[in-house]
Amino acid sequence: MNNNFIAQIQNLNLDFKGKKLFNNLNFDILENTSTALLGTSGVGKSTLLRCIADLEIENITSGKIVLKENTNIAWLSQENSLYPWLSILDNVQLYHHLKGTKTKQTLEKAKQLLSQVNMSEHQNKKTYELSGGQKQRIALARTLMQEANLILMDEPFSALDAITKIQLQDLTCQLLKNKTVVLVTHDPQEAIKLANHIYILKNQPVTIEEVAALQGVLPHKLSNETLWNLQEELIAKLKGSEI
């Protein structure tokens, strides 16, 4: 594999509910960058993300996903998937909790991560006492606990109110700045703000097109006139998408 890539989707064919969703799809993910997969609802963005995570084996008819050696994957989704019967600290340590490998060191790291996501003062609460934004902060800390180098994010901010969304987007960029990130979103503004590379998925079978390669430190500032114009371009392309 080319050293610039952390993952390559090669000639991927996938059938979903009797329909051909991917037909010889090819797609590369660059290492140490943030990539946004943008498209309308139902086009296949999340399915592609699940393929990268090796969660769609039963629907793949041919092709393959090649990961760079020593690639570890973590998943951050809209559904924070916190376990209500576990403490906040054990939710953050979920990987070690399930494997029976919790130690004093993992506990201290969980506390450190809760501090990083500004949730230390809430660590003794039950999960049902937390707001949606607070739950996503816990889920982010749990993602960081895994020490993965490829982070797959499936619309993790879509259920949040506007201000909480902005706060979590900024915090996520800060804490994942040295990771490879693939973000699924239907929001052009979010794609521009959080990604170096923006791809649009459209049609069925799915076609994938890179529409922007953006420089600069994330999150990008949308006050930039060029980025405002890009947003209009992305909206126009999405309006022309066929599902």
* pLDDT computed for residue 2 by the predictor: 55
Q: What is the pTM of this model?
A: 0.92
Q: Which tokens is 87 given?
A: 């403490």
User: 164 exposed, middle or buried (CB, 10 Å; 0-12, 13-18, 19+)?
Assistant: middle
Q: What angle do CA 181, 25, 194 make, to 5 degrees?
A: 20
Average pLDDT, whole number, for the chain? 92
Sheet of 5-16: strands edge to edge?
A: 19-30, 5-16, 60-67
**Is the confidence at residue 163, as pLDDT, over 80?**
yes
* pLDDT computed for residue 242 by the predictor: 47
Read off the pLDDT band of 18 (50, 70, 90): confident
Tell me the average pLDDT across 24-42.
Answer: 94
**Is 58 or 103 the better-scoring residue by pLDDT?**
103
**Separation of first and last alpha carbons in the chain:** 33
pLDDT in tens, 147-157: 899 999 999 99
pLDDT in tens, 40-75: 988 999 999 999 999 888 889 999 999 999 999 999
Q: What is the identity of the amino acid at 92? A: V
**Is 10 or 19 the better-scoring residue by pLDDT?**
10
pLDDT in tens, 104-140: 999 999 999 999 999 999 998 999 999 999 999 999 9
Contacts (Cβ under 8 Å, ≥6 apart) of 191: 36, 38, 183, 185, 198, 234
CATH of 1-70+181-243, one of 3.30.930.10, 3.40.630.30, 3.40.50.300, 3.40.640.10: 3.40.50.300
**Is the confidence at residue 88, as pLDDT, over 90?**
yes
pLDDT in tens, 178-227: 899 999 999 999 999 999 999 999 998 999 999 999 998 999 988 888 99
* pLDDT computed for residue 3 by the predictor: 63
Could you give the CA distance from residue 138 to residue 115 in angstroms, rounded to a whole number?
A: 10
